[in-house]
């Protein structure tokens, strides 16, 4: 009798589990498209299309050719698209072979939230700051709607967004790291901290402008631990007590990133109160990246300071894929044998393996506020 009751209970639990899973699936957002805004952490070819193309060995791991990404393969945004069963995003600035049916990517390497009075050739700062990316989206939306309505050929429509799906799309934003690096380069620590509210205000204005254009589902990444990138760590040649944090990263830079993220999160909460029809999910990418860095060996990676591609010895730097004469000899900055063992690709950007690890963490919702998986990030 007891065995029969246990069997019945197991069947009840199994049926209940199936029902709950079905209910969860039915509540999934089924985003038809992604529109992404950001910097090199999510640039799938924008800055490459606008200026000089990326060169091998960038792209070698997954694409087996250059693919406009500052990485050996895919970025976090690529794994987000894969999670949502959508194609990898075409860069808005890429005029060749683009298909925008399921979204577009406005991110460009070197982009900032607040405009910087610098050249891309001087310090790598993109002219396409966040406000310009929003302007580009507005133009993209209006022109593609006109084109879609006027098109008499379905083959043309098949490469364009469906007009009514703009408001159903997911809007992802991953930007801010270059505002920090520009601040470190041009300001004292106190000056930069006083500038953070203005940067956050400009970020909020961009979100509000996208909301006016019909955006309703926002997936907002905070900025990562910039003090943990190998180039930052190696810039402190003779660290004194207090220069590095418990993870061996540049403490002052990580403290600035944490303060930026604190104010960003506060503003996202305020935006929720003002944009009543919107869903704004704040994603703590900083915490996810620190988790990887702190547990690098346990997760199968080399330590945080190791760089896969590039030549960095003392004050001599040759960036990934480039050649330079040092002490009379030509140095080629090639790739390591196995990028999957490294967190850092080129001293600034993460490898595909690290990006995949981080993406697997954040899409579940455990690093999000509110804690919802990306499949349920709509209102």
What are the residue numbers of the active site?
A: 40, 346, 349
Question: Which DSSP string do the residues of 12-24 spell out, in sequence order?
Answer: HHHHHHHHHHHHH
Give me the count of residues in the chain. 379
- The DSSP letter of residue 307 is B
Which residues, listed in sequence order, are joined to residue 35 by a DSSP beta bridge? 104, 171
Give the CA distances from residue 177 to residues 113, 261, 321, 369, in Å, rounded to whole numbers and listed in that order.
9, 11, 23, 20
Taken in order 21, 26, 28, 33, the sign of the CA dihedral is positive
To 10 degrees, what angle do helices 76-83 and 352-362 make?
50
Segments in 118-188 forming alpha helices (H): 120-123, 130-150, 154-157, 177-186
34-38 β-sheet, strand order: 103-105, 34-38, 170-174, 217-221, 279-283, 368-369
Segments in the chain forming alpha helices (H): 2-26, 46-50, 76-83, 120-123, 130-150, 154-157, 177-186, 189-212, 230-235, 251-274, 285-294, 352-362
Give the CA distances from residue 331 to residues 305, 326, 334, 360, in Å, rounded to whole numbers and listed in that order.
21, 7, 9, 36
Q: Backbone phi, then psi, for 292, in 5-degree steps?
A: -65, -45
- The DSSP letter of residue 228 is G
Could you give the dihedral angle defined by the CA atoms of residues 144, 146, 150 and 156, in that order, rounded to the nearest 10 degrees?
A: 0
Rounded Cα distance, 368 and 181, in Å: 25
Residue with tokens 């069963």: 85
């Amino acid at each position: 009798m007891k065995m029969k009751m246990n069997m019945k209970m197991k069947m009840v639990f199994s049926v209940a589990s199936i029902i709950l899973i079905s209910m969860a699936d039915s509540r999934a957002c089924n985003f038809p498209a992604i529109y992404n805004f950001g910097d090199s952490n999510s640039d799938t070819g924008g800055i490459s299309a606008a200026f000089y193309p990326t060169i091998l060995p960038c792209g070698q791991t997954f694409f087996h050719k250059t693919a406009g990404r500052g990485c050996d393969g895919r970025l976090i945004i690529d794994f987000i698209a894969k999670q949502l069963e959508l194609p990898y995003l075409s860069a808005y600035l890429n005029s060749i072979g683009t298909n925008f049916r399921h979204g577009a990517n406005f991110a460009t390497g070197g982009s900032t939230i607040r405009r910087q009075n610098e050249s891309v050739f001087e310090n790598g700062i993109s002219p396409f700051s966040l406000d310009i990316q929003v302007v580009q989206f507005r133009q993209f939306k209006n022109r593609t709607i006109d084109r879609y309505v006027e098109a008499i050929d379905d083959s043309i429509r098949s490469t364009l967004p469906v007009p009514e799906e703009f408001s159903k799309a997911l809007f992802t934003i991953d930007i801010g790291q270059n505002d920090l690096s520009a601040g470190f380069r041009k300001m004292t620590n106190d000056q930069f901290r006083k500038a953070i509210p203005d940067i956050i205000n400009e970020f909020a204005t961009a979100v509000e402008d996208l909301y006016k254009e019909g955006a309703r589902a926002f997936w907002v990444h905070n900025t990562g631990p910039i003090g943990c990138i190998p180039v930052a760590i190696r810039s402190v040649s003779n660290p004194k007590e207090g220069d590095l944090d418990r993870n061996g990263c540049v403490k002052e830079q990580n403290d600035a990133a944490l303060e930026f993220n604190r104010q960003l999160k506060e503003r996202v909460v305020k935006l929720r109160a003002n944009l009543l029809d919107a869903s704004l999910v704040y994603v703590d990418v900083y915490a996810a990246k620190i988790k990887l860095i702190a547990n690098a060996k346990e997760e199968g990676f080399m330590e945080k300071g190791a760089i896969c591609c590039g030549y960095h010895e003392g004050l001599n730097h040759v960036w990934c894929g480039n050649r330079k004469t040092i002490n009379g000899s030509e140095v080629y900055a090639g790739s390591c044998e196995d990028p999957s063992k490294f967190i850092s690709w080129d001293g600034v950007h993460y490898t595909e393996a690290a990006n995949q690890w981080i993406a697997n963490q954040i899409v579940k919702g455990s690093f999000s506020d509110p804690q919802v998986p990306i499949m349920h990030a709509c209102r």
